[in-house]
Amino acid sequence: MTFIALLAPTARAMGWRSGLLTALAGVVIVGIPALSSVELQSDDLASMLRVIAVTGALSVGFLLHDPASAISSVSPLSRLDRQLARVFWISAAALPWWALVLLLAKSSAAPGAEQALPLGGLTGEAVAIFSVALAMAAGAQRFGFENHMGLLVALTLLLLTGGSFLLAENSAVLVPPSDPRFEDMRVWWYLLSVAAALAFLILSRERAPRRAVERWTRQAGARGSA
């Protein structure tokens, strides 16, 4: 089976309920001010978009969970290929959802606030948040917490982002767009995205079989003694 052929059965096997719930929650959050004709400033819109990004990322662990992973080990495709197929569908669903969220956010912006709203920078933050969630899910799966990875990733993400929001006034991580440090922090978010993506790729690879590791160790020891 090729990677392309894996996409359709992967989409059918994914638990989309959690993703739909978090996506709906995000649309509701951004839709309330849009429907009530409330006009928000750029800093308020940025905070709202950050909350929505975290809300959407809460479902990543559930969507990445593969209930058939125990029997999928005999598949000709690696675990990394199977995970990438799920990431493909997560990305395909997240992109139009985020575009809709941005559109609704712009509709509730106060005069002049839309121009001051850095959509590119906030999108970069959302990508970083989703990437971190993917890396945590891959780590949970690799270290034997796959049966609880969805809940574990969601709780960990809530703790991390909740602490960041509480410390936002004294921290340079979540700064408002009006803060001069905002542009400098964009580089930090991009680096975080790259680091999380690399962590996901590494953690999604199967571990080498124990016998193969022992054989390699013995051979390395024999070469060293020779």
Q: Kindly provide the b/e burial profile for residues 27-38, where b requires at least 16 CB atoms within 10 angstroms of the residue's own CB.
A: bebbbebbeeee
**What is the predicted pLDDT for the residue at 78?**
80
Q: Is 40 helix (H, G, I), strand (E, B) or coil?
A: strand
Q: What is the mean pLDDT of the chain?
A: 83
What confidence tier does 69 reach under pLDDT thresholds 50, 70, 90?
Answer: low
Q: Is 180 helix (H, G, I), strand (E, B) or coil?
A: coil
Q: Kindly provide the b/e burial profile for residues 148-168, where b requires at least 16 CB atoms within 10 angstroms of the residue's own CB.
A: ebbebbbebbeeebeeebeee
Instruction: Supply 61's token pair.
Output: 């662990």
Closest CA to 157 of 27, 31, 62: 62
Task: Determine the Cα–Cα distance for residues 73 and 115; give it in Å rounded to an integer.
Answer: 51
Tell me the one-letter amino acid at 209: P
**What is the predicted pLDDT for the residue at 182?**
86
- Asked whether residue 56 carries a pLDDT value surpassing 50, the answer given is yes
CA angle, 14 as apex, 13 and 19 as ends, to 5°? 155
Task: Determine the Cα–Cα distance for residues 99 and 115; give it in Å rounded to an integer.
Answer: 17
Structural domain including 89 reads 3-225
DSSP type of residue 93: H
How far from chain centre, in Å, is Cα 107?
26
pLDDT (tens digit, 9 = 90+) per residue, 170-213?
Answer: 555 678 888 888 888 888 899 999 999 999 999 988 765 544 44
**What is the predicted pLDDT for the residue at 3?**
76
How far from chain centre, in Å, is Cα 27?
18
- Asked whether residue 214 carries a pLDDT value surpassing 80, the answer given is no
Task: Determine the Cα–Cα distance for residues 18 and 203; give it in Å rounded to an integer.
Answer: 23
pLDDT (tens digit, 9 = 90+) per residue, 84-136?
Answer: 999 999 999 999 999 999 999 998 888 888 888 899 999 999 999 999 999 99
Number of domains present in the structure of the chain = 1
Question: What number is the average pLDDT over the span 142-149?
Answer: 83
Burial label, 70 (beta-carbon count in 10 A; 0-12, 13-18, 19+): exposed
- Asked whether residue 67 carries a pLDDT value surpassing 80, the answer given is no
What confidence tier does 54 reach under pLDDT thresholds 50, 70, 90?
Answer: very high
Task: Determine the Cα–Cα distance for residues 161 and 132; give it in Å rounded to an integer.
Answer: 11
